[in-house]
Chains A and B, each alone.
Chain A
């Protein structure tokens, strides 16, 4: 874990990252955040200072570690992962060397030392079912630990869709009673950084923003930083011209697929998904799902697991309607038969009441 006595530069240098490389990273991060180039030195300063605290506590609940993997187990060790490694990450199951009581002790210490100013990062959802028994750490339920740690936090960042919106654990029928961080923490600024997992640059970017400005960046209605979640994938997708021209791949190996046509009909959820994949891309800007030929799953959106099949088009129903329609039509026939019967009897009565009209019946009495 972090070694507060060493400067960030030393740490980076130890792992083969030059000062120049670091400054370039800061400039990129600043521009990612939509900051003017002049701000890159402020970012650099904040990050180097971060190496000597304020501290960051990372809690992992019902999660798959994918978010951490995204950050640290990238194709090649990135500055992103190193930064996290280097800044004052005082508690993180997966990354910290300490375990058991020692780890918990570290958390308590960090909280105490930085009460009111530390940043809390959470990945994973919080199970409320069975009194929270579905996930506990050191005997504490996720709920109690979250509440405890959130209390002293300056701000909370939900990393990944599980923490932000409940994610996979909350998918129908939600067996563990999973909820999102925001459902629990309501008296603190909470920022959502959804994605399954989120793009590593985005995680670092928002943390850098907090460290630089001491506040969260501007958020959208779902608590997501607008800088990264302001546009849909579809808006920024390089296959968009094909969509507009109505050229769609119908299968994953047809001519359209080979020509790089739009994947809408193969289930791409790009149009309803707000995320930065199409611009920042993954693995150091190498590619993103659509570029590799697979539609967007919509992973940064609430309930993306329950939004119908990943391979069925966005415009299709997410539950079959034919059965319901047939039942309803049968009901219509039944009620219709009753109405028909009523109509017949109304008409029949009128007929029965008919007395022959003669020429004396043409004038009123």
Chain B
């Protein structure tokens, strides 16, 4: 089998549900969603209006799921969606949407546009119009275990390096541990210090934890490209590993989309609730801090700000935790004007970072974050998502900005009371 227009159309029909029908029925074409989307605000190009990105899906709904639309299609009042259009829309659905969900927060009639873009991608990928870069990432995720092609030996090498640096041992495949930690390959390859930081924090807190050699990658390219079958397969690997080890809680890495995949989409993809809990690492850290099990000393005195990863804050509900953690270790924390549930996306979520052809647009969209950072006059940008971190670093470099990007977990680890055993 291969992708085809017909499969794409069938997928559109399949994903259509009451929320989508209600959203399309409600849209008043006010265009306000455009004002919330960084791809529109930074380019001024109306084609990046969020609801416009869904036009083919809307027409399928109208022509096949409404009486008037069906009658209209019968007498030739509306033209059916064509393969060519889907190809055209590929850019809008993949390159210019990070599934950040900001538009969904402002639509006056309450349309959850990001929800629909996610659904529309099911049809787009089945129709074979997903971007090359994302197809490649998805294939690697399935065949190699990670979208970046990071295999177990690579992870083991990084673990050894971290163990050498921290003098700790990083547990692997420990049966019956309380927590199973997931990683993103972005972290493994670019920010391995995250692993060491976790080791330090958990040792101080006395947490029993483990990694799994069978499933350490938490990101899910299947969700980003919009192929639920593949996404389910990737989630299943984690579920099998966690239930095999009998852990109580699975900890999602900082990576935002990984959190969405494992926390919110996972049970629906595999069709049953988990036999364990899923928490984001920041939730766990804040719980430990509040319980007095995470003790820090000293403060970072640099002026710094926090970039909310969309999937963790707006689409994940983890908003207060990073702030509390940050305030415990930083004395000059400045909040961006729009933050938390209304933060602006870095521009690289939702698979955009894996989509090479989107790079130019992504850098234009980054101007929004650039402006936010500049307005605060900070030289440190803390975040809690390896993907955001890469995108932020690239963007800052592109615009020659001298701002350091720091992972929140590492920052907290740096301030742990060392001698406390």
Give min CB distance, A331 to chain B, whole Å. Answer: 12
Q: Is the CB of A359 within 8 A of B13?
A: no
Q: Determine whether the beta carbon of A355 is less than 8 Å from that of B125.
A: no
* A339 on interface, CB distance cutoff 8 Å: yes
A356 B229 Cβ-Cβ under 8 A? yes
**Contact, CB under 8 Å: A362 / B142:** no
Among B70, B128, B143, B230, point to the contact of A363 (Cβ < 8 A). Answer: B128
User: A138 CB to closest chain B CB, in angstroms?
Assistant: 64
Q: Is the CB–CB distance between A364 and B64 below 8 Å? A: no
A204 CB to closest chain B CB (Å) equals 61
Bitwise interface map of A from 305 to 344 toward B, beta carbon under 8 Å scored 1, else 0: 0000000000000000000000000000001000100110
Smallest distance from the beta carbon of B224 to chain A beta carbons, Å? 12
Is B227 in contact with A365, judged by CB distance below 8 angstroms? no
Contact B67 A335 (CB under 8 A): yes
Question: Is B1 a contact of A355 with CB atoms below 8 Å?
Answer: yes
Counting CB contacts under 8 A, is A102 at the interface?
A: no
- Contact assessment for A351 and B4 in the assembled complex, using a CB-CB cutoff below 8 Å: no
Would you call B64 and A346 a contact (CB within 8 A)? yes
- Tell me if B's interface is mostly helix, strand, loop or mixed: helix
Q: What is the count of residue pairs linking A and B with beta-carbon distances less than 8 angstroms?
A: 67
Interface residues on B, range: 20 to 34
Assuming A335-B67, A357-B229, A359-B142, is B14 touching A350 (CB within 8 A)? yes
B140 to chain A, nearest CB (A): 9
B65 contacts A by Cβ under 8 Å: yes
Q: Which of chain A's residues has its CB closest to B4's CB?
A: A364
Q: How far is the CA of A358 from the CA of B7 in the complex (A)?
A: 13
Q: Verify if B225 is at the interface (C-beta below 8 Å from A).
A: yes
Using CB atoms, name the residue of chain A closest to B2.
Answer: A365
A126 → chain B closest CB, angstroms: 49
Across the interface, which residues of A come within 8 angstroms of B66, CB to CB?
339
Would A346 and B65 be within 8 Å (CB), given that A359-B230, A363-B2, A364-B4 are in contact?
yes
Known A357-B229, A359-B138, A359-B143; judge A364-B3 contact (CB<8 A): yes
CB atoms of A363 and B3 under 8 A apart: yes
Residues of B near A351 (CB, < 8 A) are 14
Which chain A residues lie closer than 8 Å to B128 at the CB level?
362-364
Task: State in angstroms the CA–CA spacing of A361 and B8 once bound together.
Answer: 11
CB-CB under 8 A from A245, the residues of chain B are none
Do A346 and B138 have beta carbons less than 8 Å apart?
Answer: no
Whether B126 sits at the interface, judged by CB under 8 Å, is yes
Q: Is the CB of B1 within 8 A of A354?
A: no
User: Are B10 and A358 in contact, with the CB atoms below 8 A?
Assistant: no
Task: Verify B13–A346 contact, CB threshold 8 A.
Answer: yes
- A362 pairs with B125, CB closer than 8 A: yes
Q: Nearest CB to that of A355 among chain B residues? A: B1
Question: For residue A350, which residue of chain B has the nearest CB?
Answer: B13
Question: Is A364 a contact of B229 with CB atoms below 8 Å?
Answer: no
Could you tell me if A358 and B229 are in contact, using CB atoms closer than 8 angstroms? Answer: yes
Name the residue in B11, B13, B70, B142 with the highest tally of chain A Cβ atoms < 10 Å from its Cβ.
Answer: B13
Are A347 and B13 in contact, with the CB atoms below 8 A? Answer: yes
Q: Is the CB of A360 within 8 A of B229?
A: no
Decide if A97 is an interface residue (CB 8 Å cutoff).
Answer: no
Nearest A residue (CB) for B10: A350
Residue in B closest to A353 when the chains form the complex, CB atoms: B10
Partner of A362 from the list B3, B11, B64, B65 (CB cut-off 8 Å) is B3
Question: How far apart sit A346 and B2, CA to CA, in the bound complex (Å)?
Answer: 22
- In the complex, what's the smallest C-beta–C-beta distance from A5 to chain B, in angstroms? 81
Return the contact of B125 from the options A353, A356, A357, A365 (Cβ within 8 A). A357
Q: How far is the CB of A154 from chain B (nearest CB, A)?
A: 60
A349 to B67 alpha-carbon distance, docked (Å)? 18
Bound CA–CA A353/B128 (angstroms): 17
Alpha-carbon distance between A157 and B135 when the two chains are bound, in angstroms: 89
Contacts of A365 in B (CB 8 A): 2-4
A360–B13 contact, CB under 8 A? no
B8-36 near A? 1/0 per residue, CB < 8 Å: 00110110100000000000000000000
Q: Which residues of B contact A335 (CB under 8 A)?
A: 67
Complex alpha-carbon distance, A209 and B381, angstroms: 95
Tell which of A339, A351, A358, A362 has the most Cβ of chain B within 10 Å: A362
Which B208-233 residues have a C-beta within 8 angstroms of A?
225, 227-230
Given that A347-B13, A350-B14, A354-B10 are contacting pairs, would A360 and B64 also be in contact in the complex, using a CB cutoff of 8 Å? no
Q: How far is the CB of B141 from chain A (nearest CB, A)?
A: 8
Min CB distance, B120 to chain A, in Å? 14
A1 → chain B, closest Cβ, in Å?
72
Residue of B nearest to A335 (CB): B67
CB-contact partner of A347 in B14, B67, B70, under 8 A: B14
Known: A350-B11, A353-B10. A360 touches B2 (CB 8 A): yes
- B130: A residues at CB distance < 8 A: 362
Expressed in whole angstroms, the Cα–Cα distance for A353 and B11 within the complex equals: 9
In the complex, the chain A residue whose C-beta lies closest to that of B65 is A343
Query: Does B380 sit at the interface, judged by CB under 8 A?
Result: no
Inside 8 A of B70's CB, which chain A residues have their CB?
342
In B145-177, the 8 Å CB interface with A consists of none
Cross-chain pairs A/B with CB under 8 angstroms, 17 sampled: A342-B70, A346-B64, A349-B13, A350-B10, A350-B14, A355-B1, A356-B229, A358-B1, A359-B135, A359-B142, A360-B2, A362-B135, A362-B225, A362-B227, A363-B128, A364-B2, A364-B3
With A346-B65, A362-B227 already in contact, 16 other A-B pairs whose C-beta atoms are closer than 8 Å: A335-B67, A346-B13, A346-B64, A351-B14, A354-B11, A356-B229, A358-B1, A358-B230, A361-B2, A361-B3, A361-B126, A363-B2, A363-B128, A363-B135, A364-B4, A365-B4
Q: Which residues of A are at the interface with B, using a C-beta cutoff of 8 A?
A: 335, 339, 342-343, 346-347, 349-351, 353-365
